[in-house]
Structure 1
């Protein structure tokens, strides 16, 4: 019999060292009277490509830094299974993502407040939380903060091609925006990024690293979570393995799941918390029948349209020679500028899919490059990519474990384009892209549609094309969603406590009732800030008696 290593007893045990876990570890350990254990299943963030912004090209799809999940075969994607990247390293997805600093829209958070019955999740109430974390390059104003850990900067390069695309967007009536983070992100402009001086600024750097010197914070990497320990309706700790050896840790006050929209529901299900029928079929004793665990999966599906161009510089052309690559490397080494500082997308466009949309419900990520998929080489021809996603999809999917063994990946079924409204909007989005590209601003460069190709014309044909070219933009949320006390499908309450259990919270992107209207990393920082504040307030109240 293999002995189980006892990691000891802590006030708080945090499961997951991604974006939320790093924030939580910092905020909770700021109280010297509490002890905190942070468990991360991935490794340390010491690899050089985790710090060079363009390194996402080498991190996504790499088992060193990515869990390399795949979806089930998706009917909406014409039977395709697609890669589903999740960060496998300290900092989680903030260490491998596109670095785009995006809050979403005010209406997103007002919707959360309505769905939960708790005004603390409204835009008015979360805006100060966003500002409190932020260190904004332009300085402080009514919408932005300075001095926080979460650095936001403008990008350190420009492309004539993107300027022309922005002009074309103006020509179809989309206004200019110089700030997508003021509550209504309608418009076209440059994305701002989580970088510091041309270097990726992850949650591990921003929040965790400054806290690691505290004696009351312990970190364990390569700690793969098996299950929660539950006794008499209370979570008392966790079982896990460290470098393959079994271990356990006890939480005196609370355990926090911060393992993300895939990891958190999977851990709950392995612990006997989830849809009872599914758990019984796997031979897992049911501790709590919680049908919402692993349901409500939402994600942004990007439709990647590729256009060949002529007579204007693209990254395909610039990086197409050894000399070009060498000059890019030299520019970065000397000035921290140029293509190696690139986020995957530099230009953003937020647009309405039709007159019925009250706010922007489409987001474009426009790139001066093209490739078949992440990990593949750039195309040999000059081209750009205009990826468009439905910001508020109606389709809902699931995350379900397929075995009690924590080494077995869960089944991820986003069910993209399963709702008729999503298929119709996808067709409109592709048509809008064609309208933009057909404007005079781009005409001198003779854009030629390469993907999906001009043969797709009718709404039904375009919807089918969306299934051919659609892929995730890596924004899964909602699988442990929060809701009102009488909402049987809600997994967590508005204070992020798991309903039906004591001593357990979920604090990560999985608690979102609905997707935010934009990239999801910065909202996850806010969720963790709010969650940590709720936990600290509860502790203070308990000490007062």
Structure 2
């Protein structure tokens, strides 16, 4: 009879005070702030690679990063009933800097009412007046310090380095419709129109890794590991004590003396929780995962901004469609960027923004426009062979709710992402109204010299039912998933996971409701405030 050999425990990366899963917009902030005290040993884990791919740094390089497995998880949604059964690409960053390394670079905080709503729903400490100092603290605004902006912080915020006559005309048309220009979208109310400010420095993308990680990566108490996939959280006697990891085909572990912090994003963090036995017990049991905490809200409450890309053919004005249509045009664009860091290669995906009310009775705008001097059939496709612009509009506060669930205990298996776009009647109604408002702006006198002709969805969509159908036909994600480990449902107002000590989620997952605008800046604010909470709780535990 052969005596079985004892199993060899997996190798360990060691023991740290804080272990951070995910080096995206939140994880980079956490790593910076928690390692500022040299007594804290901090480990930052990233499944992707280092951010040394040239197209990460060039602003237009998002075209080569989204859909590229080098930088993107390349997930897809499940077939969406509200979008005629279509599956959408669902980009999420898989590189140091996370989605801040592949996103549209727009710096947008949202509205004061968003955060006041969080606080009123039970998330104490998260009102606008309470979160504004965290936005300001981390900011390096091009105009210098003011009551609403910071200077000398890590996040560089600059004006875009180009202009287009067609966008100027659209802004004038919006003013004729009743949308006045605004000098600043980030003072708590973003009503009006203006050019988006961007997270760039002198024409280069300025990601969370550039801002928060690279200046401190030589700290002896900070260790950064790439190419490491987090399998699950180690939970012992109701406390998170470390992580189980996958690397190079093998399994590893790491121990946390203080806390484990999940910062893997609105899709990644709930997936780690579920693989750890924290989630809907019935679903986990189906996958052969032993439930640790029955928490059905994990992976639920998924919210995202659905954009309707309304496109118009124009005459008598230049757009990117013509400028990039020839080798000479492409060469001149490249030369301009090489010499001056300006022009189309320096531009964010969207340049002009509008915030509009779909109903005059609303207290704050509920529609956001991203207006672009170009048009194309689908993201990543070829530009149309004629001059055109796109007025992309999204509902800021959708009522539709979706889910993201793991499909296997294997961390390599893609999740089932089901946003359920346009499943709420109110969302359908506002989508139809958004198309009508876009048409009303397009017929204003300021655009008349350019003879705008609607090509998407097209004038054939006229009735309420037809406009709702059009929204399902042209709608696509604008890449803002949030809410899947929400405060009050999965974590408390200090971002601690219910019924598990030593474990927090610190990323877009914790938003109870989506903010009224782009989500990168709010995520970095959440991490800034979250890091302060972690350190404060550690000090209190020593008293």
How does the TM-score come out when normalised to structure 2? 0.98
Deviations 1:265-306 (A, max 9, x none): 011001110011111111110000001100000000000011
Render the CA deviation track for 1:37-67: whole Å, top value 9, x for unaligned: 0010111100100000000011111111111
* Count of residue pairs brought into register by the alignment: 537
In 1, Cα distance between the equivalents of 2:122 and 2:295? 18
Is the counterpart of residue 321 in structure 1 residue 326 in structure 2?
yes
Deviations 1:456-514 (A, max 9, x none): 0011110110000000000000000002xxxxxx0000000001100100000000000
- Pair 1:163-2:168 in alignment: yes
The correspondence for 1:58, drawn from 64, 68, 91, is: 64
Alignment deviations for residues 358-414 of structure 1 (CA, whole Å, 9 cap, x no partner): 101000000001112222121111111110000000000000111111100110000
Report if the CA contact (8 A) 2:266-2:509 is conserved: yes
Contact 2:368/2:517 (<8 A) preserved: yes
1:2 shift after superposition? 7.7
**Structure 1 CA distance, aligned partners of 2:263 and 2:415?**
17
In structure 2, list runs of 5 or more residues that go unmatched. Answer: 1-6
Please tell me whether residue 506 in structure 1 is matched to residue 505 in structure 2: yes
Q: Structure 1: how far apart are the matches of 2:123 and 2:500?
A: 21
Which position in structure 2 is the counterpart of 1:359? 364
- Rounded to whole Å, the distance in 1 between the matches of 2:348 and 2:94 is 19
Matches within 5 A, 1:142-541: 142-483=147-488, 490-541=489-540
Distance 1:24 1:145 in 2: 19
| Whole-angstrom CA distance in 2 between matches of 1:400 and 1:308 | 41
Q: Which residue of 2 aligns with 1:95?
A: 101
What is the CA–CA distance in structure 2 between the aligned matches of 1:529 and 1:226, rounded to whole Å? 26
Distance 2:8 2:173 in 1: 65
State the partner residue of 2:36. Answer: 30
Residue 243 of structure 1 and its aligned partner are, at CA, apart by: 2.7
Partner residue of 1:486? none
Q: Which moved more, 1:18-27 or 1:239-248?
A: 239-248
Taking a change above 3 Å as real, the CA distance of residues 2 and 409 of structure 1, as seen in their structure-2 partners, is farther
CA contact under 8 A between 2:123 and 2:492: conserved in structure 1?
no
For 2:159 and 2:375, locate their aligned partners in 1 and report how far apart those are by CA, in whole Å. 23
SS of match in other structure, 1:153: strand
The answer to whether the 8 A contact 1:49-1:59 is kept is: yes
1:75 to 73, 77, 81: 81
Specify the alignment match of 1:109 in structure 2.
115
Give the drift of 1:434: 0.5
2-structure distance, mates of 1:13, 1:399:
24
- Give the structure 1 partner of residue 144 of structure 2: 139
Q: Kindly indicate whether the alpha-carbon contact (under 8 Å) linking 1:19 and 1:91 is maintained by their aligned counterparts in 2.
A: yes
Distance 1:117 1:240, change over 3 A: closer
Q: CA RMSD in A?
A: 0.9
Q: Deviations over 1:152-193 (max 9, x none)?
A: 000000000000000010011011111000000000100000
Regions of 4+ moved over 4 Å: none
Q: Residue 245 of structure 1: CA displacement?
A: 2.2
- CA displacement, residues 309-337 of structure 1 (integer Å, 9 cap, x when unaligned): 11100001001111111111111111111
Q: What is the alpha-carbon distance in structure 2 between the residues aligned to residue 437 and residue 244 of structure 1?
A: 55
Equivalent residue number for residue 47 of structure 2? 41
Cα offset for 1:244? 2.5
Report the Cα distance in structure 2 between the residues aligned to 1:477 and 1:117, rounded to whole angstroms.
Answer: 16
Equivalent in the alignment of 1:84: 90
Do 2:71 and 2:94's aligned partners in 1 also have CA atoms closer than 8 Å?
yes
Deviation at 1:3, TM superposition (A): 6.3
What's the counterpart of residue 14 of structure 1? Answer: 20
Q: What's the counterpart of residue 3 of structure 2?
A: none
Are the equivalent residues in 1 in contact too, given 2:123–2:487 (CA < 8 A)? no
Gaps of 5+ in 1: 484-489
Looking at structure 1, the residues matched to 174 and 206 of structure 2 have their Cα atoms a distance apart, in angstroms, of 30
Distance in structure 2 (CA, Å) of the matches to 1:2 and 1:326: 59
What CA distance in whole angstroms lies between the structure 2 residues aligned with 1:117 and 1:47? 39
